Chain A
Amino acid sequence: MARVMTAPASSPSSPSSSWRRRPWVRWATPLLIVAVLAVLPLVGTEFQNETLARIGVFAVAVLGLNVVMGYTGQVSLGQIFFLGFGAYVTAYGVSQDWNIVLVFVLACLLPAAAGLLVALAAARLGGLAIAMVTIALPIVGVPLAKRLNEYTGGSQGLSARFAESPEGSGLYDDQWTLYLVIAIGGVVFLLTHFLVRGKYGRAFAIVKGNENVAASMGISPYRYKVLAFTIASAIGGVSGFLYMLVIQYTSPETMSFGHSIELLAAMVIGGAASIVGSLLGGAFYVLVPQLTNQVDASLTALLQGAILLVVLFVLPGGLASLPRALTRGRRRLRAGRGPAAPPTTPSSTPGSGTAAEQPETERQGHA
């Protein structure tokens, strides 16, 4: 419509993204990733492998949370419940000597079904209300798990070891476990990666952005919230399966409400609505306590709080926004030297951080 040319120098393709678009890079990158993942378990020490496996568990849990919260904008404080549910299903199934594939399927389906039920009710609400309804899941889940002690082992929990490396594979248990985590987690990541691009990704995003618009595009906000929530629960269930695979024990404490909050923090720190961010979030969830324990075990809370704040202060978009922040920083450096952008007060710098200037948007209540 308008004849105004956009400022020519400012095409969106920064050098790095155009580099990423080269065909050989597009093919080589996945291959490289697969290759690295294939040898990774073979080169690490036992503890490194165990740590990586744990990262995998929580990366999957964060990924699930990202589907419902990062992409679809529905604050869920219940994700840990689905992890716990998946873990219990797995532990129970293993204790009953069920076929492990069946156990895996149940560990996805039962949490998904629970998630579906909850979502059918909760998706009618929005914003903070949905946060409060989902917060109830872990909070009620803990006493419920104790009450159902026939299946859950009550407060003493359930142990299950089912991932001994197969005879003749020549692998240590930790290597085998890590391979399983990488394989299962990798598939979940890949599927989610595809899902949040294209039709469903856009649909989730518009449900997050503006439900009225979504509806007028033929996207029922309710149905898509339910869908996202169910997917998140299923992925949560998978992470519960992996949890049992790696940790081999679950108890009501597994799903304590504090962990749900930590998962949420991990999601934001990794980068909301980002696949890589989920992985980084999982790493943050696992590595930071490890790190703070190393520094001073009696100051873990203080250090963890401080690290969280520092990371977000530097990268409000989460760890996944680091490359973007770097290119922006470089661009700003270059621009800063030009005559056109003299400094002004910090408060009026649009584009600083994630807070791109949105003069007319109102802030909605949000948890």
Chain B
Amino acid sequence: MAAELTLQDVSLQFGGIKVLQDVSFAVEPGQIFGLVGPNGAGKTSLFNCISGHYKPTAGTVRIDGTEVQGARPATLAKHGLARTFQHPALQLHETVLENVLLGAHTRLPGGALEWAVRLPRTWRAEKALRAEALELLERNDLGWAAHLPADELSHGLHKGVELCRALLMKPRLLLLDEPAAGLPHAEVETLIATVRRLRTDDDITVVIVEHHMGLIAALTDRVVVLDHGAKLMEGTAAEAQSDPRVIEAYIGKDAADDAA
């Protein structure tokens, strides 16, 4: 089930700005893969290239061997790619449940006409997915908020709602952009447990961008470090954390000392 993701010499340019330069790496099915690097290194842009929001200026992106660079995000989503956004983007005036249900879009059968005449199979599916969404929220400790408008939730909680929305898509490849940002330490632990469960229970390949090195170390099988759009190194989290280039460019000397 879990997807395989391969990037080959992906480059991206905006006007004169080189955002990504020849980035290549491969994520094996079922891996939890980390993507780290300083601010503006191009991590989110790389996600955008994978999810179809940006079209790489050069290089190939393959999911399960199929070239997908240039494909539209909606198409990719239908083929099992889900992602969260660095800055949570919810429908603020809708309830949390409705927000999460959005993730079910591709799983709901029927065209516009069928929904307009309310064919039984449409609302049966709706009901089933509603139940599933509630359960998902419940499992992520957000059940209490299901019927609140999203704007009544604080910033940190939006992250959780976004995660649920992505999970309801039943993806095979999940891209998480800084899921731990703004979470207190205790919540990060919960998040780690959740993501681990994703792999074991749901058989999903996960790519995570995160500045929380604790989380990266605890969770990832492998990491790629980006700097100025280029791959600086690839290896395990531990290798990365002790790589002098990474310390220099990213973690900072003192921080590394602190951690040691």
Q: A2-B187, A6-B148 are in contact. Are A217 and B103 (CB under 8 A)?
A: yes
B170-203 at interface with A (beta carbon < 8 Å): 183, 187, 190-191
B52 touches A215 (CB 8 A): yes
Q: Which residues of A contact B74 (CB under 8 A)?
A: 214-221, 223
Q: A198-B123, A215-B77, A216-B53 are in contact. Are A6 and B145 (CB under 8 A)?
A: yes
Task: Tell me the complex Cα distance, A223–B73, Å.
Answer: 13
A199 touches B77 (CB 8 A): no
A6 touches B144 (CB 8 A): yes
Q: Which residues of B contact A361 (CB under 8 A)?
A: 92
Other A-B contacts than A194-B116, A215-B77, 20 sampled, CB-CB below 8 A, are A1-B140, A2-B154, A2-B156, A5-B144, A6-B145, A6-B148, A194-B115, A198-B115, A198-B123, A198-B126, A202-B101, A209-B89, A210-B89, A213-B89, A215-B52, A217-B74, A217-B77, A218-B105, A223-B74, A356-B151
Asked if B242 is at the interface (CB within 8 A of a chain A CB), the reply is no
Task: Tell me the complex Cα distance, A194–B148, Å.
Answer: 23
Q: Which residues of B contact A219 (CB under 8 A)?
A: 74, 77, 105
Identify 11 residue pairs between A and B in the complex whose beta-carbon atoms are under 8 Å apart, listed by A's number: A1-B190, A2-B154, A194-B116, A209-B89, A212-B73, A217-B103, A218-B74, A218-B78, A218-B169, A219-B74, A221-B74
- A194: nearest residue on chain B (CB-CB)? B118
Task: Tell me the complex Cα distance, A227–B115, Å.
Answer: 13
Task: Tell me the complex Cα distance, A185–B151, Å.
Answer: 36
- A12: nearest residue on chain B (CB-CB)? B147
Give the shortest distance, in Å, between A73 (CB) and chain B (any CB): 12
Asked if A192 is at the interface (CB within 8 A of a chain B CB), the reply is yes
B73 touches A191 (CB 8 A): no
B72 touches A220 (CB 8 A): yes
- B101: nearest residue on chain A (CB-CB)? A202
Asked if A195 is at the interface (CB within 8 A of a chain B CB), the reply is yes
**Chain B contact residues (Cβ within 8 angstroms of A): what range?**
35 or more
Asked if A145 is at the interface (CB within 8 A of a chain B CB), the reply is no
Give the shortest distance, in Å, between B138 (CB) and chain A (any CB): 12
Q: Which residues of A contact B152 (CB under 8 A)?
A: 6
Task: Tell me the complex Cα distance, A24–B78, Å.
Answer: 40
Please, what's the 1-or-0 string for B101-123, where 1 marks a CB less than 8 Å from any CB in chain A? 11101101010100111100011
Give the shortest distance, in Å, between B47 (CB) and chain A (any CB): 10
Instruction: Tell which of B52, B103, B108, B149 touches A12, judged by Cβ atoms closer than 8 Å.
Output: B149
B116 touches A191 (CB 8 A): yes
Asked if B94 is at the interface (CB within 8 A of a chain A CB), the reply is yes
Q: Which residues of A contact B144 (CB under 8 A)?
A: 5-6
Q: Which residues of B contact A218 (CB under 8 A)?
A: 74, 77-78, 105-106, 169
Asked if A42 is at the interface (CB within 8 A of a chain B CB), the reply is no
Q: A1-B141, A2-B156, A217-B106 are in contact. Are A199 and B126 (CB under 8 A)?
A: yes
Instruction: Tell which of A1, A198, A223, A358 touches B142, judged by Cβ atoms closer than 8 Å.
Output: A1
A356 touches B93 (CB 8 A): yes
Asked if B13 is at the interface (CB within 8 A of a chain A CB), the reply is no
Give the shortest distance, in Å, between B39 (CB) and chain A (any CB): 19
Q: Which residues of A contact B110 (CB under 8 A)?
A: 199
A195 touches B116 (CB 8 A): yes
Q: Which residues of A contact B85 (CB under 8 A)?
A: 212-213, 216
Please, what's the 1-or-0 string for B69-83, where 1 marks a CB less than 8 Å from any CB in chain A? 000111101100111
B116 touches A358 (CB 8 A): no
- B155: nearest residue on chain A (CB-CB)? A360
A250-265 at interface with B (beta carbon < 8 Å): none
Instruction: Tell which of A11, A202, A221, A358 touches B102, judged by Cβ atoms closer than 8 Å.
Output: A202
Asked if B51 is at the interface (CB within 8 A of a chain A CB), the reply is yes
A226-260 at interface with B (beta carbon < 8 Å): 227, 231
Q: Which residues of A contact B149 (CB under 8 A)?
A: 12
